[in-house]
Amino acid sequence: MDADAAAARLAELVRIPTVSSRDRGEVDAGAFSRFRERLTELYPATHRVLEREVLGDGALLYRWPSGTDAPPLVLMAHYDVVPVAGQDWSRDPFFGLVEDGVVHGRGAIDDKGALVAILEAVESLVAAGSTPARDVYLSFGNDEEVAGVGAQLAVEALTARGVRPWAVLDEGGAVVTGVFPGVPGPTAVVGLAEKGRLDVELVTTDAGGHASAPVRGGAPARLARAILRIEDAPFPARLHDVVLGMVDALGRHALTGYRALFAHAAYLRPGLALVLSRASREANALVRTTVAITELEGSKARNVLATRARAHADIRIALGETVQSTVDRLRRVIDDPTVELTVVSGNDPSPVSRADNEAFALVGAAIRSVYPDAAVAPYVMVQASDARHFSQVCDSVYRFMPFDVTRDELAALHAADERITVAALHRGAGFYRHLLRHL
């Protein structure tokens, strides 16, 4: 596989602005159509051999037939991206610049990078006349960033055909260094599950009036008080079994002092959960349900008292909790019947996939084939992904992006200056190639 050629193809796909929006009127359907068409031109061998269909408004489902009845592998990615409005980019986010060994632009990692790495591996194997040992499906979503239905349609299509996957692999963990406390070397974390997602609106109302004669405890004040109560009473930190498994696996690669602590993690759950909650915001998200206030709204005029104040809470539900238990706790913490709490949407955490089977072992072997020094460990994905839809039909759903990324590169996801190194993209393609050759 040619690393520079792969980077050039990724850069070309970055230039097609497939930006998602919950408002269908804001979606450039032509860009999505151009993206799908360009894939057929950039990967001719893949499109000659694999069967392809378009589901719904643009989700892609490919089948690479093996000639066997073995349950298939499903490789996932999505080609829609988040907007760039309001972000301070140092380069044009849709120019697709390749400079000094780095591909710059929106989607370079999330998630066109993974899509390209998959197709680079498939294209090279197809061109070499290779046939997989079991069918391979490629499920490329077009609306993951807005929690759309593309992946659901893929699950429905496979289920209608009686297809139950052997394993599923989607975006998720990555290869990182210096993120887990006490572990100095690279770590590759593979998501066995993902947290639940809950969108809640907090609303207070009031009579309103002229701002020259305010009243105490108006709608904005009561809303602010509710927000501060949530902020001051975070959900408890708990060490779920999946996180315990991560601590156990990574603890074997930790520095001496930490190694002794992690070796007794099962007996130190409360204390270790507290340590992780204070280690970093990423580690904190692993051990508790988190609440982020993302939108605030009050009066429409500067000199008019608000008759309605609204806040949106983006909540990620920890394993072991549910939408209902989370809502119940929020009501108790707010402790104010004048604050209306409405669930906009929500889903419980995903089931936990197996880590004791051939599929997980193969993912680990593929990781070590390109990152031989990395410690491989299970973890809980704190973001939402399309993979959750496949959990209903498969007990081996894994979440892993096969790229080694820095803290700064991770921080650029959904933010300004998203980028991926050409070397990391090449190693990612090598990961998928190993996976496909050793099914």
- Number of Cβ within a 10 Å radius of residue 345: 10
The answer, yes or no, to whether residue 49 has pLDDT greater than 80, is yes
Closest residue by Cα to residue 412 from 194, 147, 89: 89
Q: How confident is the model at residue 201 (pLDDT cuts 50, 70, 90)?
A: very high
Question: What is the pLDDT averaged over residues 17-33?
Answer: 94
Q: Give pLDDT, residue 297.
A: 96
Residue holding tokens 């949106």? 312
Residue holding tokens 């930190």? 237
What is d(CA 315, CA 195) in angstroms, rounded to the nearest whole number?
10
Q: How many CA atoms within 13 Å lie on the side-chain side of 252?
A: 9
The per-residue pLDDT for range 254-293, each reduced to its tens digit, is: 888 788 777 788 888 888 888 888 888 888 999 999 999 9
What is d(CA 156, CA 165) in angstroms, rounded to the nearest whole number?
12
Distances (CA, A) of 113 to 85, 142, 146, 342: 21, 15, 19, 37
Which of 10-19, 39-48, 106-115, 253-262 is the least confident region? 253-262
The answer, yes or no, to whether residue 122 has pLDDT greater than 90, is yes
Question: By three-state DSSP, how is residue 348 classified?
Answer: coil
Q: Give pLDDT, residue 14.
A: 98
396 against 24, higher pLDDT: 396
Q: Give pLDDT, residue 302.
A: 94
Domains of the chain: 3-180+352-371+382-437 (3.40.630.10), 194-347 (3.30.70.360)
Specify whether the CB–CB gap between 376 and 368 falls below 8 A: yes
Q: Give pLDDT, residue 252.
A: 86
The answer, yes or no, to whether residue 186 has pLDDT greater than 80, is yes
What is d(CA 24, CA 327) in angstroms, rounded to the nearest whole number?
30
| The token pair that represents 197 in the structure block | 């997602």
| The token pair that represents 357 in the structure block | 């089977």
The amino acid that residue 21 corresponds to is S
The sign of the torsion formed by the CA atoms of 277, 282, 288, 291 equals: positive
| The token pair that represents 232 in the structure block | 């001051």
Q: Give pLDDT, residue 280.
A: 82
Q: Give pLDDT, residue 418.
A: 97
What is d(CA 406, CA 175) in angstroms, rounded to the nearest whole number?
9
Q: How confident is the model at residue 367 (pLDDT cuts 50, 70, 90)?
A: very high
Length of the chain: 439
Question: What is the pLDDT averaged over residues 89-97?
Answer: 96
| DSSP symbols for 316-377 | EEPTT--HHHHHHHHHHHH--TTSEEEEEEEEPPPPPPPSSSHHHHHHHHHHHHH-TTPEEE
E strand or H helix that includes residue 150: helix 150-160
Q: Give pLDDT, residue 265.
A: 81
